[in-house]
Amino acid sequence: MNAKSKCKPADLAILGGEALFAQKLPAGQVNIPEWERFEKISTGIFERKYYSNHGPLAQEFEERLIALFGTKHACTVTNATIGLALASKISGLKPGDRVIVPAFTFAATVQALTWAGLIPVFCDVDPLTHTMTAQTAAPLLNGPDSREIRAILGVHLWGNACDIESLDALAREHGLLLFFDAAHAVGCTHKGISFGNFGACEVFSFHAAHALNSTEGGCVATNDDELAERVRNIRSSYGRHATVPIPVNANGRFSEMQAAFGLLSLEDFPENCARNARRFHAYADGLKAVPGLRFLQASPGERHNHQYVILEVDEKDFGLCRDDLARILNAENVSARGHFMPGMHRCPPYRDRFPQYVHALPVTDRLCERVMQLPSGQIVTDEHIAGICALVRFVHEHAEELSKALQA
């Protein structure tokens, strides 16, 4: 790898030169524990011959999550998509109820509502934080779809809190349920309080590409005893107890193998987050002089997992649009990519069912064109980051020439 070898645009891989990196640098975390540790922790699974369904490792993992979040309950589930769907199903909402939700999010946030028979009311986001605020949500309560709105589902995108206090006040004023997709926010805090403690419940993801990973996995965290009991009941597929009624059963169980992986990932979590933070700052420092790039910063003073390195590319100031920059980086084996494009309001089936939102979310549309994720995680070294930053600076310096070359 030698970024200095890019002396002229023709040296770029997209124009026929040699790629900067021999192997692809992935965008996700890829925090894999050492085999010996995994072998040790999973031996007990084989000895006990108990693989699934809330075994001892899953119970231990839940206890550790409760300690991390400081919540009364942390109910592990197969993944966050299932967790969001189950939470939507058992929170007292009825099929046909409408839920305010940002369109700038992963498909699972909205699909979970659909799975539970709920109807999304798409909300725009704040241009600086990328999250829903009371200001972006409130007008919907007076809009044409306001009649059956019964809930707000906020998303703590990139691990940063959406406007929790104002959304809470809005929800109380209108008698709405408030709950959160906290898939990105494991281990993060808002005003010093861990996520997991806000709204009726918060749903986390332990997907392989996230800072805390159990290969696949998720959890519904809550301080509400009855809600937790409902989650435990619906996730078990046969109903755990008859103590609380649930509308249908599902299977959202968390296996012992997932728990084994998750427990190791929890051990490594502080170190992984600290390394993520160093990577983030290395990128931000390396590119601070480049016009047209804005990094999404963590809120000052908060604990953060820095699981994503997210920036916005302003075509006018940078000289190339996000997609062209991503194409150039991808050719160099740097997995840079856009996120959540198009917004959910423009994705089928929603764009056809709810055409009223297609042109109603200008900030979401703008972010879908500008947001980019850069590689972070275990295998990304300081040297890689220095190389990527040098490459991006080079691209900016030759933007005009490159723009013409890419169009040719």
Nearer Cβ to ligand PLP, position 80 or 132?
80
Nearer Cβ to ligand PLP, position 320 or 364?
364
Residue 275's CB: how many other CB atoms inside 10 A? 19
Tell me how far, at minimum, the Cβ of 156 lies from ligand PLP, in Å: 8
Tell me how far, at minimum, the Cβ of 220 lies from ligand PLP, in Å: 12
Tell me how far, at minimum, the Cβ of 203 lies from ligand PLP, in Å: 7
Please report whether residue 181 would count as binding ligand PLP according to CB under 6 A. Answer: yes
Q: Which stretch binds ligand PLP (CB under 6 A): 74-82, 172-180, 268-276, 296-304?
A: 74-82
Please report whether residue 261 would count as binding ligand PLP according to CB under 6 A. Answer: no
Among 12, 99, 119, 155, binds ligand PLP (CB under 6 A): 155
Please report whether residue 307 would count as binding ligand PLP according to CB under 6 A. Answer: no
Q: Which two structure tokens, joined as six digits, stand for 348?
A: 């089928």
Amino acid (1-letter code) at residue 297: Q
Query: Contact at 8 Å (CB) between 133 and 155?
Result: no
Nearer Cβ to ligand PLP, position 190 or 207?
207
Please report whether residue 328 would count as binding ligand PLP according to CB under 6 A. Answer: no
Nearer Cβ to ligand PLP, position 344 or 389?
344
Among 205, 276, 307, 364, binds ligand PLP (CB under 6 A): 205
As a three-state string, the secondary structure of the chain is CCHHHCCCHHHCHHHCCCCCCCCCECCCCCCCCCHHHHHHHHHHHHHHCCCCCCCHHHHHHHHHHHHHHCCCEEEEECCHHHHHHHHHHHCCCCCCCEEEEECCCCHHHHHHHHHCCCEEEEECCCCCCCCCCHHHHHHHHHCCCCCCEEEEEEECHHHCCCCHHHHHHHHHHHCCEEEEECCCCCCCEECCEECCCCCCCEEEECCCCCCCCCCCCEEEEECCHHHHHHHHHHHECCCCCCCCCCCCCCECCCCHHHHHHHHHHHHHHHHHHHHHHHHHHHHHHHCCCCCCEEECCCCCCCCCCCCCEEEEECHHHHCCCHHHHHHHHHHCCECCEECCCCCHHHCCCHHHHCHHHCCCCHHHHHHHHHEEEECCCCCCCHHHHHHHHHHHHHHHHCHHHHHHHHHC
Nearer Cβ to ligand PLP, position 109 or 136?
109
Nearer Cβ to ligand PLP, position 32 or 405?
32
Nearer Cβ to ligand PLP, position 198 or 318?
198
Among 28, 199, 218, 292, binds ligand PLP (CB under 6 A): 218
Q: Which stretch binds ligand PLP (CB under 6 A): 13-21, 49-57, 76-84, 267-275?
A: 76-84
| Binding-site string for ligand PLP from residue 91 to residue 130, where x marks contact by CB under 6 A and - marks none | --------------xx-xx---------------------
Among 57, 74, 75, 80, binds ligand PLP (CB under 6 A): 80
Among 29, 42, 71, 79, binds ligand PLP (CB under 6 A): 79
Tell me the site size for ligand PLP, rule CB under 6 A: 14
Burial 325-351 (b: 16+ CB within 10 A, else e): bbebbbbbbbebbbbbbbbbbbbeebe
Nearer Cβ to ligand PLP, position 184 or 396?
184
Q: Which stretch binds ligand PLP (CB under 6 A): 138-146, 179-187, 294-302, 356-364?
A: 179-187
Nearer Cβ to ligand PLP, position 12 or 78?
78
Please report whether residue 183 would count as binding ligand PLP according to CB under 6 A. Answer: yes
Residue 21's CB: how many other CB atoms inside 10 A? 16
Tell me how far, at minimum, the Cβ of 397 lies from ligand PLP, in Å: 34
What residues line the site for ligand PLP (CB under 6 A)? 79-81, 105-106, 108-109, 155, 181, 183-184, 205, 207, 218
